[in-house]
Amino acid sequence: MNFHVLTLFPDMIIQGLYTSVVGRALKAGTIHLEAVNIRDYTLDKHKKVDDYPYGGGAGMLMQAQPVYDAFRAVRKSVYERRGEVPLRVVYLTPCGKTFHQDMARELAREEDLVLLCGHYEGIDERVLEEIVTDEVSIGDYVLTGGELPAMVLVDAVSRMVPGVLGNQVSGESESFCKNLLEYPQYSRPEVWRDKRVPEILLSGDHARIEQWRLEQSLERTSLRRPELYESWVSENQEYFRKKAKREERMRKKEEKARKAAQNACIL
Ligand code: ADE
C-alpha cells in the first residue's frame, strides 16, 4: 500500500512514522510513504502558500493552486504506475466523518491513498471540491493542522495491511471480541506490589482463559462504552443464549450435587 501525504510539514510526517511497527513496515517495503511538500509547488516567487480569506475573518487560508499542483504531481506518478485508476483523497479536517476501525479496514484495501493536511484556518474550498473524495476527522477537538490526524490514519490503516503486524498477528481480527474493548493483560512477575496475576491465566486451560477474557472485555465495554456494548449484544444474541444455557446446566448440576450431599447426610 502506498500513502501519499500532501503537507506543509513533510519532516513531521517522516519523523513521526519512521519508528516502531509502522517504521519497520516502511523499511521492509510492506507499505510505502511519501510526504509531498505543498510549498514546493507554489508559483509565488516568495514561496507563499497562504492568503487572507475573502469576506474577512481570523487567520490565513491555504491557497488552491499549490495544493492542486502537488496533488496533480502525485496523481501523475500513480497514473504512470497503474493507469488512470480512481484515486481516494482524504482531507483531514474536524468537519469530516469521525474516523473508526471499519474505516481503517476499508481504506487498507486501497493500493494508493492520498492524505491532504490542512493548516492555518483551512484550505480554499474550490480545490477541496476538485480533488477530495473523503473528509475525515479523528475526533471532536481542533488541532493546529492535519499532520497528526494523517499520522493517526496511516498508523491505523497500516495495521490492517497484511504483513505489517508480523506473521502471527492479524489486525483484521474476526474474533468474537471484535468491536469490544481489550481485556486486561498481565506479564511477569506473577506478583508485583502485592498484586497477583488472576489465577485463571496461570491455569493453562485455554478454553477457560478465552471465556474469562471475553467476560472481561464485555464488562469493560459495558461500563466504559455502553453504546458499543449494546451493539455487540444485539449482534451476538447467540452468545447470550448459549451463556444462559451453560448457566442453567451449572445450576442444575450444583442442585443435584447439593441434593446428593443432603441424602448422604440423612443416610
Ligand atoms: N485538523 C484539525 N483538527 C483535526 C481533527 N480533529 N481531525 C482531523 N483533522 C484535523
| Residue whose CA lies nearest to ligand 1 atom number 4 | 94
**Which atom from ligand 1 is nearest to the alpha carbon of 136?**
8
Per-residue pLDDT at 179 = 85
Looking at residues 162-177, what average pLDDT do you find?
72
Ligand 1 binding residues, C-beta < 6 A: 92-94, 137-139, 141-143, 146, 149
Asked if 61 contacts 121 with a C-beta cutoff of 8 angstroms, the reply is yes
Q: Are strands 50-51 and 61-62 parallel, antiparallel or unpaired?
A: antiparallel
Whether a cis peptide bond, with omega within 30° of 0, leads into 189 is: yes
Per cent of the chain over pLDDT 70 is: 96
Per-residue pLDDT at 107 = 98
pLDDT digits (tens, 9 = 90+) for 106-147: 999 999 999 999 998 999 999 999 999 999 999 999 999 999
pLDDT digits (tens, 9 = 90+) for 179-195: 899 999 999 999 999 99
Confidence of residue 265 (pLDDT cuts 50, 70, 90): confident
Q: Give me the phi and psi of 247, to 5 degrees please.
A: -65, -40
| Residue whose CA lies nearest to ligand 1 atom number 7 | 137
Give me 231's grid cell: 451493539
Residue with cell 498477528: 169
State how far the Cα of 25 lies from the Cα of 68, in Å rounded to an integer.
Answer: 29
Looking at residues 54-79, what average pLDDT do you find?
97
Per-residue pLDDT at 166 = 84
Separation of CA 94 and ligand 1 centre (Å): 4
Separation of CA 153 and ligand 1 centre (Å): 11
CA 200 to chain CA centroid, nearest Å: 31
pLDDT at position 91 over 80: yes
Provide the whole-model pTM. 0.89
Separation of CA 100 and ligand 1 centre (Å): 14
Q: Are strands 134-137 and 61-62 parallel, antiparallel or unpaired?
A: unpaired
Full DSSP string of 91-154? EEEEEEEEP-HHHHHHHTT-SEEEEEE-BTT-B-HHHHHHH-SEEEESSSS--SBSHHHHHHHH
Number of neighbouring beta carbons within 10 Å of residue 154: 24
Residue with cell 491465566: 201
Residues 209-221, buried b or exposed e (16+ Cβ, 10 A)?
A: beebbbebbbebb
Asked if 138 contacts 126 with a C-beta cutoff of 8 angstroms, the reply is no
CA 178 to chain CA centroid, nearest Å: 13
